[in-house]
Amino acid sequence: MYKRISVLLLALGHFGAQGQVNDNAVVIESAGLSITKAEFEQMLAGDPRLPVALARPAAKLALGTDFGKAFALEAEARRRQLDRDPAVQLKIRSYTQQLLANELLIKLRSGFLQDEAQLRAYYEINKEAYAQPRVRHILVRTKSSPVALIKGRPDLPLEQARAKAEALRLRLVNGADFAGLAKAESDDQGSLRTGGDLGFVAKGSTDANFEAAAYSLATGVLSTLIQTEFGFHILRVDERQPMPLAAVKAVIANDLAHKELDGIILNGYKLNTVYFGGP
């Protein structure tokens, strides 16, 4: 497919291994489209491929070639004026909205990370919300779960798994020992032997539904059934470990950024209710 693609990787010897080129030097060009060394490296800032490419000439050449192919295809699409097609422009607008929303989140998060006073003030008010919970759980695996099926156990479809999880929770409500029941019935082989004890759960380290339950549960209280891609979980928080500000700065900055996004969204748009419905 790419045999006839004519892409010029300028000064390819320099781009690969031999030396350095000026930041303003064009490193990829195709039919009037071009990108300089500085633009190329800025475009890939944060991309794990870039440091590998800068350290290994063969990887740099491979990366440049991949982008060169993309430039060639973009140039041909523009030559055919696909970028002027109204349907294509709407798709570009949709992609642009997603990109800008993500970049706004990154910008807000970065700003909050640099505001030590605001981070500390928010932390002091919400310190308990950032205390790490020590979680014990029982998992009832559902069919197609990424968790391996324990030998000898049935591969339960969704509703049968739900029914089993509800029955296990009822046994806990009626006084069954959590650790003992987890050892006997949980499908999580990683925590089976410890009676379902997962240790302290850091924010961002597990499924969003699981995390939300773990951080909102009062100590010693059973959760309702929590569904994840793994199956149905029954949780109990055994204790909470206070976390110092330094350990949760990034999490707080992320939470503050999302709160600001929520505020922007709240009154930031208007729908045509004749078309969309609603109040």
Residues 78-126 pLDDT 10s = 999 999 999 999 999 999 999 999 999 999 999 999 999 999 999 999 9
**What value does the mean pLDDT of the chain take?**
91
Of 11-15, 71-75, 115-119, minimum mean pLDDT range: 11-15
What is residue 157's predicted lDDT score, i.e. its pLDDT? 95
Whole-number percent of the chain with pLDDT over 90: 86
Residue 19 confidence (pLDDT) above 70: no
What is residue 13's predicted lDDT score, i.e. its pLDDT? 42
Residue range 177-197: mean pLDDT, rounded: 95
Number of Cβ within a 10 Å radius of residue 195: 17
Residue range 216-220: mean pLDDT, rounded: 93
Residue 1 confidence (pLDDT) above 50: no
CA atoms of 75 and 73, how far apart (whole Å): 5
Q: Is 15 exposed, middle or buried (0-12, 13-18, 19+ CB in 10 A)?
A: buried
Triad 145, 149, 153: Cα angle to 5°: 125
What is residue 23's predicted lDDT score, i.e. its pLDDT? 92
What is residue 16's predicted lDDT score, i.e. its pLDDT? 42
pTM score of the predicted model? 0.71
CATH code: domain 132-241 is: 3.10.50.40
Q: 140 or 32: which carries more pLDDT confidence?
A: 140
Measured CA to CA in angstroms, residue 243 lies from 83, 106, 149, 249, 275 at distances of 51, 24, 36, 10, 49
What is residue 102's predicted lDDT score, i.e. its pLDDT? 96
Residue 210 confidence (pLDDT) above 70: yes
Instruction: Give per-residue pLDDT as tens, 30-68.
Output: 998 999 999 999 999 989 999 999 999 999 999 999 999
With tokens 């850091």, the residue in question is 202
Number of Cβ within a 10 Å radius of residue 12: 15
Q: Is 14 exposed, middle or buried (0-12, 13-18, 19+ CB in 10 A)?
A: middle
Structure token pair of residue 43: 């475009």
What is residue 20's predicted lDDT score, i.e. its pLDDT? 80
**Residue type for 277, please?**
G
Residue range 144-163: mean pLDDT, rounded: 95
What is residue 4's predicted lDDT score, i.e. its pLDDT? 39
Sorted by where each begins, the domain ranges of the chain are: 1-84, 132-241
Contacts of 176 (CB under 8 A, 6+ apart): none
